[in-house]
Structure 1
Amino acid sequence: GFTDPRHTVGVLSAGWRKRLAIARELVAAPDVLLMDEPTNHLDVEGILWLEALLRTEVPAYLVVSHDRYFLEHVAWRVLELNRCYAGGLFQAEGRYSDYLLRRDEALREQAAYQDTLANKVRREVEWLRRGPKARTRKGQARVKAAGRLIQELDEVRARDAGAAAGIEFTASGRQSKKLLLARDVAKTVGGVRLLAGLNLTLTPGMRLGLLGASGSGKSTLLNLLAGTLAPDAGQIERAEGLRVVRFDQDREGLDPAVSLRRALAPEGDAVVYRDRSVHVVSWAKRFLFRPEQLETTVGRLSGGEQARILIARLMLQPADLLILDEPTNDLDIPTLEVLEESLADFPGALVLVTRDRFLLERVSTLVLALDGTGGATFFADYAQWESAHEETDRDVGDRIEAPARTAVETRTKPAAREGLDARRLTYLEKRDWEQMEQTILEAEEACAACQEAVEDPAVASDPIALRERWAALEAARTEVDRLYGRWAELEEKQR
C-alpha cells in the first residue's frame, strides 16, 4: 500500500506506521505471527487490507482483538479467557459468529446445571437441618457429599458472577423534532477541501455513523457539529439550549496526575446521577473499578480503564446530542456489548466515529461516508456502503489499494462461509430478523399501555401529565412503525 518509498517514518500517520510494523514482521517470514490488537489505529480500508494479508500471506497466526468484525473474517477458531467457564477457558471451532452461538449454548447449559445443582443442595441442606445421625458410615458419606455439593455450587456461582460495566446515557427529555440543521456547509483545512455543500439534519432517535479514511474530515465534521469550529460557508442551526456531550478519542479531558477517585467524583465523595446521589465507591464499581483502585492515578490505569472513566463522566451529563469519537478503543468485548445496547436505546441524536464495524452496523440508522475531497454520501447502513465501495473499486481501480480490494472480494464470495451470504443478511441482521416478531409484539404492548395511560380519566384535567403521556404514546407509535419498516427491509434483503 505504500506509494512513496522516500517518506520518512516520522511523517506517517499512526495507521500507516501500524501497516509498516506488520510488514516488518512479515519480512522475517515467521512460522506463527503473534498480534495484539492489530486493528488499533487502522482505518476501515487498512483493516480490509490486513484481513486480505492474513488470508493470503500468513501461514499461521494468533491474534488478540476486540474488533468483532475482524475476528469474523480472519479467525477459524476462537478462544475466550473468562473465569465464568470451568478451567477459565472456552473455545469454539469456526468463525466469531459460530463462537457466539456455541457460547450462548454453553452458557445456557451451565445455567441449567447450576439450577440442578442448587436443587440438590437445597434438598441436602434440608436433610442436614433435620439433624440426621451421622454416626453410621452411610450417614457420614452423605454429610461429606453434601459438603462437596455446597462447595461446588459456591464455585459455580463465583464463576458466574462475571461483571460488565453499567453504561446508560441520560437524555435531556427535549421534545424538539429537529436538534441540528446543517445547510450547504463547506470547510477547508490546511488547503485541503474536506467538506463542500454538506446538508444534514439531526433528529431525536437518529444515529449517524461516519466513515472515511484518515484525514478525510471526520474529526473536522465533529468539531463543526459540536460548535468548536466554524464553517467556511453555509450555516449550522442548533435547537435553543442544545446539550451536546462529546467523547474525545484523544482523552484530553483526563489529567494523568489525578486520582481515580477525583476523576470519577471531582467535587466530593459522591456524584449525582439522574437526580440521585451515588457514592463514589458504588459509582466506581459500576464501571468495574475496585475500591482499592480509587487512589491510583489516572496515568497508571490502562487505556480501557481510562475510556471507562470518560464514559462515566458522559453518563452524568444529560444530552440531546452525543458525539462519540472512537469510543471503543481499548474496551473489552463485554463492555462493548453493553455500550451498544445503551447507544441503541438512547432517545436523543448520536453521531459516531468508529472503526468497530460491528458497533457501526448494530447502532447506526444512517451512515455518512466522507471521501476527503469535499464529497459526502449517505448510505442506509454499513453493508450498503461496503457494497458501493466494492463497486467503485472495480470501476475506478486505484481508489483503494489492491490488498484492500482482495479483502472485499474474498469476503463476498459464497464459498467464504457456507450458509451465510454476506450480500443478504449479516450476523446481526439475521439475529434482528429472528427476534423481530417478539420485539414488535413487545413494542405494540408498550404502545397499548401508553394508549391506556393517555385515556386515564385521572390525568384529563392535568395538562402537563397529559402532554407527557401523549409524547410517550407518539414515541411508542414511532418505534412500532420503525420496527415494521425494519422487518420489511430485512425480508426484502432475503429475496
Structure 2
Amino acid sequence: IDGMVQPDAGEVEIGETIRIGYFAQEVPDMDTNQRVIDYIRDVAEYIPTRDGKISATMMLERFLFDSAMQYAPIAKLSGGEKRRLYLLKVLMEAPNVLLLDEPSNDLDIPTLTILEDYLDSFAGIVIAVSHDRYFLDNIVDRIFAFEGNGHLTQYEGGYTDYTEALARKGGAVSEGQSIAVGAEKKKSAQADWKQNRPQKLKFTYKEQREFETIDDDIATLEELLEKLDKDMEANATNSVKLREIMEQKEKAQADLDEKMDRWVYLNDLAERIEAQKSEK
C-alpha cells in the first residue's frame, strides 16, 4: 500500500490528496544525540486536529513526555519510550491514511489508551494489522479476514462482531487463523473439528499485560488519592489551589473506579481460564 514493495501484478493507485503515515513494527534508526523535542519538531511544529492546532510540546505531553524528558537526548529513553516517540512522529506527519503494523506490540497500556483515544477522533482512514482482539474491538469498524486458499472476506464491525458473524455462518475462529494472514485450509475432517470444538478462554496480549500491572496501578492511584486528601487539608484556606486539587482528586477517583471495574473483569476471566485448564 505504501509502495515499499512493488506488486507482482497490477497497480496501486494513490490519490493526490492522500498522505500515508506508516507505523512499522521496527523502530527506525534515530539520532540518539538529538533531543526528544527536536525529533518531533523536525516533522512539524503543530498538528491540525478537529479541535484546532496542537503544538509539538502539547502532543509530547499527551504522549507522556514531560518537560524534562522533552529536552533530554533520545539516548536517555527506554526501548518502549522510543517506540512511543516514533508513533508520535508518524502522527505528527498529519496523515489522512494510517497504516499500523502490530501497533500494540511493545506499547505500554497508557500509550495504547492514548492511541485508542487519538484514533477515536482521527478523521482519516486507519488500516491495522493486529492480533490484539481488544485493540481491534476498540478501533475498527470493518475486518478483512484471510480465510485460506487465497479467499478474503469482508466483515462489518470489530473483532467480536466478526466472531459472531462466523458463528452465524456455522464457523469459528481457529487458533491458527489470523486477521492479517490466514493459514491454508487443512483436511476437511480437521476443519470440521476446529469449527465445532468449544471456544477456548484466554487473555488477549493486552489483557495479559494489563492483568500483570493492574494491582500496582490501583495501589498508585490509592496513594495519589491519600496525598490529595492531605493536600486539601493543607490548602483549606486557599480556594484557588483547593479547587485545583479537588479536580485532580475527581479525576484520580474516576481512574480508580475504572481500574477497579477492570480488576474485577480480569480476575474473573483469570479464574475461568484456570478452571478451564483444570478440566483437562
TM-score normalized with structure 1 length:
0.32
- Identify the residue that residue 271 of structure 1 maps to in structure 2: 45
Contact 2:63 2:114 in 1 (8 A): no
- Over the matched positions of the two proteins, sequence identity in percent amounts to 27
Gap regions ≥5 residues in structure 2: 175-184, 203-280
Deviations 1:44-87 (A, max 9, x none): xxxxxxxxxxxxxxxxxxxxxxxxxxxxxxxxxxxxxxxxxxxx
- By how many angstroms is 1:242 displaced? 1.7
Shift of the 358–273 alpha-carbon distance from structure 1 to 2, 3 Å rule, reads: same
Deviations 1:412-451 (A, max 9, x none): 9xxxxxxxxxxxxxxxxxxxxxxxxxxxxxxxxxxxxxxx
- Identify the residue that residue 292 of structure 1 maps to in structure 2: 68
Summarize the alignment of residues 2-13 of structure 1 with structure 2, pairs less than 5 Å apart.
Answer: none
- Identify the residue that residue 3 of structure 2 maps to in structure 1: 227
Q: Does structure 1 residue 324 correspond to structure 2 residue 109?
A: no
Q: Distance in 2 between matches of 1:347 and 1:333?
A: 23
Contact 1:327 1:354 in 2 (8 A): yes
Greater shift, 356-365 or 247-256, is seen at 247-256
Q: Distance in 2 between matches of 1:343 and 1:319?
A: 12
Q: Does structure 1 residue 368 correspond to structure 2 residue 141?
A: no
Q: Does structure 1 residue 315 correspond to structure 2 residue 91?
A: yes
Alpha-carbon RMSD: 3.7
Aligned pair count? 182
Classify the secondary structure of the residue corresponding to 1:369: strand
- By how many angstroms is 1:291 displaced? 2.4
Amino acid at match of 1:259: R
- Identify the residue that residue 211 of structure 1 maps to in structure 2: none
Contact 2:143 2:155 in 1 (8 A): yes
Q: Does structure 1 residue 238 correspond to structure 2 residue 28?
A: no
Q: Distance in 1 between matches of 2:187 and 2:83?
A: 39
Summarize the alignment of residues 412-423 of structure 1 with structure 2, pairs less than 5 Å apart.
Answer: none
TM-score normalized with structure 2 length:
0.53
Gap regions ≥5 residues in structure 1: 1-224, 413-495
Q: Distance in 2 between matches of 1:286 and 1:259?
A: 17
- By how many angstroms is 1:350 displaced? 1.2
Q: Distance in 2 between matches of 1:398 and 1:256?
A: 50
Q: Distance in 2 between matches of 1:277 and 1:359?
A: 25
- By how many angstroms is 1:358 displaced? 0.8
Q: Distance in 2 between matches of 1:346 and 1:283?
A: 14
Amino acid at match of 2:139: V
Give the number of the structure with larger relative contact order, counting CA–CA contacts within 8 Å between residues 6 or more apart.
1
Contact 1:245 1:319 in 2 (8 A): yes
- By how many angstroms is 1:326 displaced? 1.8
Classify the secondary structure of the residue corresponding to 2:94: coil
Q: Distance in 2 between matches of 1:348 and 1:237?
A: 17
- Identify the residue that residue 410 of structure 1 maps to in structure 2: 200
Contact 1:323 1:352 in 2 (8 A): yes
Q: Does structure 1 residue 382 correspond to structure 2 residue 159?
A: yes
- Identify the residue that residue 397 of structure 1 maps to in structure 2: 190
Classify the secondary structure of the residue corresponding to 1:238: coil
Amino acid at match of 1:397: Q
- By how many angstroms is 1:367 displaced? 0.8
Q: Distance in 1 between matches of 2:85 and 2:46?
A: 15
Deviations 1:165-186 (A, max 9, x none): xxxxxxxxxxxxxxxxxxxxxx
Higher strand share: 1
Classify the secondary structure of the residue corresponding to 2:120: helix
Amino acid at match of 1:409: Q
Q: Distance in 2 between matches of 1:353 and 1:239?
A: 22
Q: Distance in 2 between matches of 1:399 and 1:350?
A: 34
Q: Distance in 2 between matches of 1:258 and 1:372?
A: 46
Q: Distance in 2 between matches of 1:343 and 1:273?
A: 14
Shift of the 347–393 alpha-carbon distance from structure 1 to 2, 3 Å rule, reads: farther
Contact 2:80 2:106 in 1 (8 A): yes
Shift of the 409–393 alpha-carbon distance from structure 1 to 2, 3 Å rule, reads: farther
Q: Does structure 1 residue 247 correspond to structure 2 residue 28?
A: no
Deviations 1:272-303 (A, max 9, x none): 222857364x4432321232223544344223
- By how many angstroms is 1:322 displaced? 1.0
- By how many angstroms is 1:361 displaced? 1.3
Amino acid at match of 1:307: R
Structure whose alpha-carbon radius of gyration is higher: 1
- Identify the residue that residue 80 of structure 2 maps to in structure 1: 304
Q: Does structure 1 residue 345 correspond to structure 2 residue 135?
A: no
Q: Distance in 2 between matches of 1:299 and 1:324?
A: 25
Amino acid at match of 1:272: Y
Shift of the 226–372 alpha-carbon distance from structure 1 to 2, 3 Å rule, reads: farther
